[in-house]
Structure 1
Amino acid sequence: MSEISFRDRLERLPLILAGPILQHTSSESVTVWVALKEPRRVAIEVYETADSGNVVGALAMAGERTTVALGRYLHIVAVTAQSQNGDFLRSGQIYAYDLSFTGTEGDRQTLQQVLTSPSLSLVPISYFPHQLPTFALPPEDLDRLQIVYGSCRKPHGKGYDALPILDSLLEHNAALPDFRPHQLFLTGDQIYGDDVADPLLYALTEVGDLLLGWQEQLPLLPSSKVSHLTSKQLKPGQRSKIACEQAGFTAGIRDKAELAKSHLFGLGEYYAIYLFAWSQVFWLEPFPKGREICQDRQAAKQWDRELKDLQQFASTIWKVRRALANVPRYTIFDDHDISDDWYLNQAWCLRVLGKPLGRRVVQNALLAYAVFQGWGNTPEQFQDGQSGAKLLEAASKWSASAGGDKTAEEAIACYLGLPESDPLTSLPKMRLDGQFLVLDRSPEALRWHYTVRGGSHEVIVLDTRTWRGYPADRDPIAPPALLCPSAFERQLRSVLQQARSNIKATLVISPTNIFTLQAIAGIQQWYLKQGKVFNADVGDGWNMNASGLAAFLATLFEGRDRVIILSGDIHYSATARLDYWSRRPSDSVVSDSEKSFKPHLLTQFTSSALKNSELMTQLIHTKAKSILMPERRRFWIGWTNLPEMIEVRHTDRSLPDWKCSLEWIPRQPIQIPEWGKNVPWLRGQQKPNWLYNFVKWLWQNRWFQEGKEVVGTNNLGLIHFDWYGNPSENAAIQDIYWYTSWGKPRVGFSRFRASLHLRQLPKNI
């Protein structure tokens, strides 16, 4: 797979390298993202449909925009359609959209024309005969809302990719506007910049340089023998040392150098991995075998093992591509979108941003996130004159100069929110925010958090990475508050104060969990005491900073009595219920009676991983976890003026500002929908011999796999509601879809039903 083969194939590839991906969609506008190999003026038209989506009708919205040149062969645009006659889109209706592409010579092509080419003759993009992508707005009735979400999708992760299940959900209900998925939220780790398979990095380096049209000079420490290296000089499987020593990354410092052996560095590599994650275009060329690349026999075997997992991943990308074209997609980053432990604590920030290569890689990764994900999340930030548009202009200039325009490079850092470096120490500048240190950034920096509102629900998407508060009076490795005080105000309090009578459900997306399994929390506390915070992401969960968690809960319940959290990150799926009782301000008598406390409810739904199943999560998926380590009910008390919380026994009779109780909701036995009984798009796995099959039967039989608390295999979450006239019967439901391990692969779901009824404070708490 040489550079020449990719360059020769480029002419035979379709104009569209990835997309169309439907992004921010509302009654007032529709945004669609595409990546092209040549510049175009892209026009979008949104149409009403009839006959259950089968007949395309009147034009409802239109818009156009010119692509932005991010490289010689990479041109990206998120084009937005808006109302032409003052009418708005409605729920309960299926809409179709079409794109057209006009070249510099005035030649115009349709969507179907630019999707295919001699090397890619068929690209399914629709569920209807008219071959146009479709969507439906969230319904006014909450009990018909369908929200899909997931996280952590590593191409060479073990197990089948769960994101293609979304395509099956859409296909099965495509003609039913109130029952097909209405929104998709990807809550972190859409890519793994730090953990890349060697064969994939081999391709990403070649494709990345080709897309850019130049080779980026990656800066090294002043003490190095050379001042710069290119991505091509940093071979797959050989990047651990430079990742740790030159960039300061922590992915490989856990005595597991292989975790960073193929870390992404170059901007082209970060651009390219999104194309490989969302499109089959660059997977068409067969990858070389290990013996063709590696001289070492063991390295060749490792290459071939990773290649096998990659081929399984690639075989179903066509379903992912079709799904992303037919449901509005919203995202937020987590650490692996940049690098493992990204902004984990103050020490990480000083270690990485204080090194030229570390800072450049963070900038490259965040720029790729901005143009491949952030643009479509908040298209209003990328309109003329806004920070996003200025970022696109700077990125285009920097690429046109082959990385030589320092002014453009500094502008990119500014709009991405990277802090300036202190000229004396080369360390990133920080400033005080209350009792916390935060990264100092330009007021023109893009905001990554946002809110999406539908007919009866709202989704508040938090940025818990770039606005962390690092305790100013503690060790640099101390767990941070995932939101600093000013971030609480901007991202939560100001949003929650915008009360709307039609909003019945408030969902908050936090990429990391609020609460985790007790055993995992105990392990993290042990690592923290040992000072080994990079061993188990100590500091990534809300539970590791008691004052930050206390402030988070208090802020949530200032504005809402019921909140649903959607999270990921931890490679298993579960549901937890937190009953929270706050002292009533009007209570003139300080007492501990149940009447002195107002009830609130937090429901935590977690879906993880889409493709990164691990042995430990597979184990807790089974009955072994339920029998040997069942989760017990836990209790805390807390205070609001100086936010703090402590865990207590249920017999504690202190007089705090609030009390809470946590319990885990069991999963119901798996159900197999009719469409899940036959999944021919999955490749069958080999069965080596009778002994292997016998051990597999013992481990993967249905009885053993029917655990009680979590789903630990690759999975995708679907949220919906039972909403009745009687509030005591209302419930939020999480269906976790996963692949069965017994018999032939099938798709089933485990249901978690969480009552939304507010409980009064029991007398024994």
Structure 2
Amino acid sequence: MTSASASGADVDLVIGPLLRYVSADEATIWVETNGPCTVKVTLDDGPESSADTWSVHGHHFAIVMIEGLEGGKIYPYRVELDGTECWPVDDGFPHSVIRPPSRDDRLRVTFGSCRRTAPFDEANLKELGADALAALGERMKITDATTWPDLLLFVGDQVYADNPSAEMIDKLRQLHPEDDPIGEEVHDFEEYTWLYAESWSTPEIRWVLSTLPSCMILDDHDLRDDWNSSWDWRNEIVHEPWWRDRVLGAFGSYWIYQHLGNLSAEELAADEKYLEVIAAPDEETRNRLVDDFAWRADDDPSSSRWSYYRDFGRNRLIVIDSRCSRDLDPDRRKMVDEVEWAWLVDKATQDVDHLLVGTTLPYLLLPGIHDLEGWNEATSEGAWGKLYAKLGERLRLALDLEHWAAFRNSFDDLTGLIADRAASDSPPSSVLVLSGDIHCSYTAEATLPAVEDSVTRVHQLVMSPIRNTLQRSVQLANRFFRTRGAHAVLGFLARRSGVEDPAITWGVNQGLWFTNGLMTVEIDGRSSRVVVETACVEDGLQRLVEVGTYVLADGSAPSEAGNDAGRTELAS
């Protein structure tokens, strides 16, 4: 691969290229540049396409839509800015390529969450461990493209606005006054752009994101820790003096850097806000449009949708916004509001072989934590009186009790939706829930007692973190919450608070793992399996090591042994 930097040119890449959406015949490539220009993408032995940049708050972006691809071909591509080639660069990695799928019955999705950014020096590798995404890039560099994932799915915390790197903190300290209430956190749109540049610009990460299609969904750290955890949290934080700038920066940058790339060319062409922004006559107008959109997205969740779906032949991936579309009213608490839920039901009831559901927060937690969150929600709503209600709210924030189990109405709704699909005339072979967030990884198999004769296998897959730390005390707590004793005691407390047993049973059958890593779901026809890999440093290189490969669905009816394993697997 030869050097093709744009040294001496007026414009250059700031971030990217990021290969985002890829189907059998089209693709989108996202870039940020350091000035206005025309971005041209040329495919070897394929089409070319171009787009003009548009600017927001002094930053310049473009999404290039490429059509006319042929499934099964591998297209090396190049990027030009105003006629000067700026990609590929001579960084030791192969040529970036686009790989439209050739078959609709096979799919390989690699996913994970919670990736903190820090240099790959000895001190940071010791503190945060190996970066599983960088390790994936190192392996891809020396393996055939046919072995690579078809899609990367990032299920939350792609950046840490409230816990930035040491290098970023030094930069923020120089900018923020000592008495600034925002402290060492990111404040506004400009500072969010620094986070994305830091996170996506190391050579390993840059090449992976230029070569593998990616889907993303936000969680709290993309915005701020505990975002929308409860009604009380929100009523308190909206009065902070820095709140408005944080909201504008968080949602405006998320929309541009992450969300737009989740959409197909057809969806972008129908997105009124996107069309309005790129057609605006000047940057001042675009700034106002994006800021107004960002503020309304937080103030009125029904005004925007971050959830999306992707079809891969007879397989569907639905990615749920389980952070911003919440209804926090104590009288009707919901993980997703009624508008979002109606959309989810519509998208989940199609005839598919495998239904993959991405949600940043695990649906099926460790049994003890599930019981604890149910008890906490009930007591916070007054099941044990006003004193326990106040204590319950404090406990919710202190222990991050905000997963699906803490929104029992939504947990039951999702359980009912999965049961309906399993009991339908054309049930999927598997329903796989892909999650992150909790800095602990595992697989859990579930049984729906009301539809035990269904061919549908239900699994919760949790992979977290891609790169982060986990305190020893938290590891011990998670191991405790998996035990029969924790389930018995906390289940008793939950029932004493009026919490009914769920209409689904489950247990952890693989894990727990407390290390950086990735999971890959592999689908072949109506069969599916998951490959679990952890990251480490060997001979100075970041590598992925396979922990195991586990069958999720074999394309036939689940055995009684499989049901029993999913129902009873608890530690002593």
2:540 is equivalent to residue 738 of structure 1 = no
Partner of 1:319: 204
In the TM superposition, 1:67-106 aligns within 5 A as 67-72=53-58, 74-83=59-68, 88-91=69-72, 93-102=73-82
Letter in structure 2 aligned against 1:455 = G
Seen in structure 2, the aligned counterparts of structure 1 residues 42 and 520 have a Cα distance that, compared at 3 Å, is same
Matched, 1:719 2:572: no
Specify the alignment match of 1:147 in structure 2. Answer: 109
Opposite residue 646 of structure 1, the aligned amino acid is E
- Structure 1: distance between partners of 2:361 and 2:108: 22
What is aligned with 1:484? 337
1:37 counterpart = 2:34 = yes
Query: C-alpha distance in 2, partners of 1:363/1:28?
Result: 35
- Give the structure 2 partner of residue 548 of structure 1: 410
Q: How does 1:670-689 map to 2 (within 5 A)?
A: none
For 2:361, the aligned partner's letter is T
AA at the equivalent of 1:123: D
Aligned partner of 1:747 in structure 2 is: 544
The CA distance in 2 between the partners of 1:199 and 1:151, in whole Å, is 22
Evaluate the alpha carbon distance shift between residue 384 and residue 661 of structure 1 in structure 2; reply closer, same or farther with a 3 A threshold: closer
Alignment match of 1:462 (pick from 320, 341, 360): 320
Q: Which has the larger helix fraction?
A: 2
- Following superposition, the deviation at residue 581 of structure 1 comes to 3.2
- Return the alpha-carbon distance in structure 2 between the equivalents of residues 416 and 27 of structure 1: 33
Q: Among residues 628, 647, 660, which one is paired with 2:501 in the alignment?
A: 647
- The amino acid that maps onto 2:111 is Y
Q: In 1, Cα distance between the equivalents of 2:540 and 2:41?
A: 45
Higher relative contact order, chain-length normalized (CA < 8 Å, sep 6+):
2
SS at match of 2:41: strand
Identity, % of aligned pairs?
20
Given candidates 275, 287, 296, the residue that maps to 1:418 is: 296
Q: Does the 8 A contact of 1:27 with 1:90 survive in 2? A: yes
Contact 1:715/1:737 (8 A) holds in 2: yes
Report the alpha carbon displacement of residue 471 of structure 1 after superposing the two structures with TM. 3.8
Alignment match of 2:467 (pick from 611, 617, 620) = 611
Q: How does 1:44-83 map to 2 (within 5 A)?
A: 44-47=41-44, 58-59=45-46, 61-72=47-58, 74-83=59-68
1:520 Cα deviation (Å)?
3.8
Superimposed CA distance per residue, residues 574-607 of structure 1 (whole angstroms, 9 cap, x where no aligned partner): 1001111336xxxxxxxxxx7xx75643211111
Could you tell me whether the CA contact under 8 Å between 2:356 and 2:431 is conserved in 1? Answer: yes
Q: Contact conserved, 2:431 with 2:458, CA < 8 A, in 1?
A: yes
From the CA coordinates, give the structure whose radius of gyration is larger: 1
For 1:192, the equivalent position in structure 2 comes to 160
Q: Do 2:162 and 2:224's aligned partners in 1 also have CA atoms closer than 8 Å?
A: yes
Q: CA deviation at 1:564?
A: 0.5
Aligned letter for 1:415?
A: F
Q: How does 1:159-558 map to 2 (within 5 A)?
A: 159-176=129-146, 179-203=147-171, 232-235=175-178, 242-243=181-182, 261-279=183-201, 317-355=202-240, 357-380=242-265, 381-383=267-269, 386-391=272-277, 400-401=283-284, 411-416=289-294, 418=296, 439=300, 441-442=302-303, 445=304, 447-473=305-331, 480-490=333-343, 492-499=344-351, 503-521=352-370, 524=373, 529=379, 530=391, 531-532=393-394, 533-539=396-402, 541-558=403-420
Say if 1:187 and 1:75 are closer, same or farther in 2 by CA, change over 3 A: same
| In 2, Cα distance between equivalents of 1:188 and 1:455 | 25
Aligned equivalents of 1:743 and 1:38: distance in 2? 37
Cα 1:45–1:459 shift into 2, 3 Å? same
Higher alpha-carbon deviation: 182-191 or 343-352:
343-352
Deviations 1:92-135, CA, capped at 9 Å, x for gaps: x3222222221xxxxx11134xx66xxxxx434x52xxxx3113
Deviates more, 1:181-190 or 1:343-352: 343-352
Q: Does the CA contact (< 8 Å) of 1:388 and 1:415 recur in 2?
A: no
Distance 1:269 1:392, change over 3 A: farther
Counterparts of 1:599 and 1:512, CA distance in 2: 26
Instruction: Please give the per-residue CA displacement for 1:241-260, whole angstroms capped at 9, x wherever unaligned.
Output: x13xxxxxxxxxxxxxxxxx
Which TM-score applies when normalising by structure 1?
Answer: 0.61
Shift of 1:388: 1.8
Aligned-partner SS, 1:167: helix
Indicate yes or no: 2:98 matched with 1:135.
Answer: yes
Counterparts of 1:75 and 1:356, CA distance in 2: 29
**Mapped partners of 1:151, 1:12: distance in 2:** 37
Structure 1 unaligned spans of 5+:
1-9, 48-57, 103-107, 117-121, 207-231, 244-260, 280-316, 421-427, 429-438, 475-479, 584-593, 638-643, 649-658, 667-708
Q: Does the aligned pair in 1 maintain the 2:31–2:62 contact within 8 Å?
A: yes
User: For residues 18-59 of structure 1, what are the alpha-carbon distances to aligned partners after superposition, in whole Å with 9 as ceiling and x for unaligned?
Assistant: 111100111232111111112110122334xxxxxxxxxx32
CA positional deviation for 1:740: 6.8
User: Is residue 1 of structure 2 the alignment partner of residue 16 of structure 1?
Assistant: no
- Whole-angstrom CA distance in 1 between matches of 2:141 and 2:39: 27
Give the 3-state SS of the residue equivalent to 2:533 in structure 1. Answer: strand
Instruction: Flag the 1:467–1:62 CA change in 2: closer, same or farther, 3 A.
Output: same
* Structure 2 unaligned regions, length at least 5: 1-6, 119-126, 380-390, 492-497
In 2, the alpha carbon distance for the partners of 1:522 and 1:31 equals 43
Tell me how far apart the structure 1 counterparts of residues 230 and 450 of structure 2 sit (CA, whole Å).
31
**In structure 2, which of residues 554, 558, 561 is the aligned counterpart of residue 758 of structure 1?**
558
Q: 1:743 to 1:39 in 2, by over 3 A?
A: closer
Aligned residue for 1:664?
A: 508
Q: How many residues align?
A: 519
Return the TM-score normalized by structure 2.
0.80
Give how far 1:270 is off.
Answer: 0.4
Partner secondary structure for residue 718 of structure 1? strand
